[in-house]
Structure 1
Amino acid sequence: METSELLKKVRQIEIKTRGLSRNIFAGQYHSAFKGRGMAFSEVREYQFGDDIRDIDWNVTARYNKPFVKVFEEEREMTVMLLIDVSGSLDFGTHQQTKRDIVTEMAATLAFSAIQNNDKIGVIFFTNKIEKFIPPKKGKKHILYIIRELIDFQPTNTHTDMAMALKFLTNAIKKRCTAFLISDFLDIYDYDNALTIANRKHDLIALQVYDQLETELPAVGLIKMLDAETGDETWIDSSSKAVRERYHRYYQKQLMEVAQAFTKSRVDNVSINTNEDYVKALLTLFHKRNYMR
């Protein structure tokens, strides 16, 4: 992408996503993710209504009456965006590809993090770590992230989420909030990596998909290209049996992904390329607030 075109695109994304994060996500983001990092402050005597899980048993034993630990919210949080940049994200049958949606969502979350005084970092991955942007603050850092979101060109096309999650747990020592953004069309087993990452960090999965991936239209012979392997095959979409088999295959994939999220207790939401991702994210934020 030429420099002038890139700068124009960066500006467009900045205006749209910064406005969304300021006007829509301002309170929702903070309330959904605040308190995930808590620092011990002091102890005080137990009061009616205090959570018994906060009792400091050492101090209680010393003074022979109950004391509870008082925590205060850490002023800043680290937010990591784990972004799948494999070949399958270039697919899209509507006005936007899956990659376009990922770019806008990631930029919106990045601006929300900065407005909440959080650090923001990014891990671009395929079946290897393509690029690691360490977490920082500031508008210059945000614009750099948006520029990379728009113009980054991966060297590989395959996907390995387990590898990316392991990198996160090793690279970010302190507990963070991490958004894993992908279409989750990964053939490798990543269940254990999800569980381990979610134990150390607050992991949220954002799954992006396109409607054509769920239902094959009856339009005759179609050449299908696997964007990650480059394999091509012709299928007869006019055959009802072929369409049903295709649909069952995708539904099986969806079920396996949902089971992985349930097993690892990872909060998640699925977003269609022809739907409003803002509404989907707000639904997720509301759910987290309700469950807190």
Structure 2
Amino acid sequence: MGSLVTRVRTTMALFAHRRARTMLDGQYGSAFRGRSLDFDDLRAYIPGDDVRDIDWKATARVGAPLVTRYEALRRQNVLLVADTGRNMSALARGGGPKKEIALLALGVIGWLAQRHGDRVALVAGDAASSQSVAPRSGEAHLERLLRAFDGAAGPGSGPSDLTAQLDHAVRTVRARGLMFVVADEAAFDERDAALVRRLAVQHEILWLTVRDAELAGAGAPGRARDVADGGLLLSLLARAPEVEEDYRRLMAERTAARAGALRRLGIAEVHADTPEDVIPALFRLLERHRRAR
């Protein structure tokens, strides 16, 4: 198996030209709330940097925009939170595996973090168990995190349970930082909202939702199965179109409930249906987070 970090970098090169990658770096660098008083150095302005960090005197001296960089920006903790249950082996709305979209999203944020010298940690698991990987920096560590997710997520894992991962993060993560949650369209109930509310006191939270495949396009009647329990999905729908309508209404209500809860907590959310969606979605996510601060 090749390097997963290399796969992430290659995918970024395919879907984002040089300027876009630079802007994504800048957006990430502006994602954290607050600043340390410990001055580090000056560097060239990157589109997406917070204009409040521009050193106007230094800019006037050299004739090009410079931003102040603080020591704290190099020592942040980034916590990746993801479900590795059976739901992640199902198809996303774009037709490919949800796992591949989640892996790329985690990899991009992790790659940006390690480029900035930040430490990256992981909380992932299913209903049966959760695993934590302590924060460290560097590409070798990021590779370890991505392999931990890749190896755990699949049809052989336990039932999905994002609530368990949020609860695990509440109980075990002590250091403040940026939390990046990758989840599918599982129900978001009052307990999830309470856990996220507690986490939001300690962390800045970004949320990416990998949307489920449309049932009508999931396969031939009588052949598509639910990854959670192996049950047939479409034979009933073929005979009763109203069931599909009820399902769509349920999913719309679920989406609205999750979006509303996250919005009330001030948490930016975007969705991705294909690997090609990931880079643009992360642009939007980081920009929304920056503007909401």
State whether TM-score is above 0.5: yes
Is 1:130 the equivalent of 2:130? yes
The DSSP-based 3-state class of the residue aligned with 1:104 is helix
Letter matched to residue 263 of structure 1: R
Query: What's the offset of the Cα at 1:205?
Result: 1.2
Q: Are the structure 2 counterparts of residues 242 and 220 from structure 1 closer, same or farther at C-alpha, using a change threshold of 3 Å?
A: farther
Whether contact under 8 Å (1:92, 1:98) holds in the other structure is: yes
Q: Bigger CA drift: 15-24 or 146-155?
A: 15-24
- Tell me, in whole angstroms, the C-alpha distance in 2 between the residues paired with 1:22 and 1:274: 16
**What is the aligned length?**
254
Answer whether contact 2:178 2:203 (CA < 8 A) is retained. yes
- State the 1:237 CA deviation: 2.9
Match of 2:120 in 1: 120
Contact (CA 8 Å) 1:90, 1:98: kept in 2 or not?
yes
Equivalents in 2 of 1:180, 1:171: separation in Å? Answer: 16
What is the deviation of 1:77? 0.5
Report the secondary structure of 1:276's partner residue. Answer: helix
Q: Determine if contact 1:122/1:132 at 8 Å carries over to the other structure.
A: yes
Corresponding residue for 2:2? 7
Q: Distance in 1 between matches of 2:177 and 2:218?
A: 46
C-alpha distance in 2, partners of 1:167/1:112? 25
Aligned partner of 2:62 in structure 1 is none
The CA distance in 1 between the partners of 2:169 and 2:113, in whole Å, is 18
- TM-score scaled by length of structure 1: 0.75
For residues 261 and 289 of structure 2, the distance between their equivalents in structure 1, rounded to whole angstroms, comes to 19
Which runs of structure 2 are paired with 1:188-267 in the superposition (5 Å)?
189-212=191-214, 216-217=216-217, 221-223=221-223, 225-232=225-232, 234-237=235-238, 239-267=240-268
Q: CA deviation at 1:177?
A: 0.4
Cα-to-partner distance string for 1:92-131 (whole Å, 9 max, x where unaligned): 2645211100001111111100111100011112124432
Whichever structure has more strand as a proportion of its residues is: 1
| C-alpha spacing 1:80/1:193, structure 2 compared with 1 (3 Å) | same
Mind listing any 5+ residue stretches in structure 1 that lack a counterpart?
A: 1-5, 42-71
Match of 1:105 in 2: 105
- Aligned mates of 2:85, 2:150 — CA distance in 1: 14
Q: Secondary structure at the match of 2:214?
A: helix
For 1:218 and 1:289, locate their aligned partners in 2 and report how far apart those are by CA, in whole Å. 37
TM-score (norm 2): 0.75
Residues 143-193 of structure 1: CA distance to partner in whole angstroms, max 9, x if unpaired?
Answer: 222333333357743233333223213322121100110104147641101
Which residue of 2 is the match for residue 81 of structure 1?
A: 80
- Percent identity between matched residues is 19
Secondary structure of the 1:7 match is coil
SS in 2 for 1:221: coil
Q: 1:286 to 1:265 in 2, by over 3 A?
A: closer
1:226 to partner: Cα distance: 2.9
Q: Identify if the C-alpha distance between structure 1 residues 231 and 157 changes in structure 2 by more than 3 Å, giving closer, same or farther.
A: farther
CA distance in 1, matches of 2:230, 2:255: 23
CA RMSD between the two structures: 3.0
* Structure 1 counterpart SS, 2:175: coil
Q: Give 1:256's aligned amino acid.
A: A
Alpha-carbon distance between aligned partners in 2 of 1:284 and 1:156, rounded to the nearest angstrom: 29
Structure 1 residue 239, shift from structure 2 partner: 3.9
Q: State the Cα distance separating 1:275 from its structure 2 match.
A: 5.2
Structure 2 unmatched ranges of 5 or more: 39-69
* DSSP 3-state at the match of 1:29: helix
**C-alpha deviation, 1:244, in angstroms:** 1.4
What residue number does 2:181 align with? 180
The one-letter amino acid paired with 1:135 is: P
Match of 2:11 among 13, 16, 20: 16
Indicate if the aligned counterparts of 2:80 and 2:121 stay in contact, CA closer than 8 A. Answer: yes
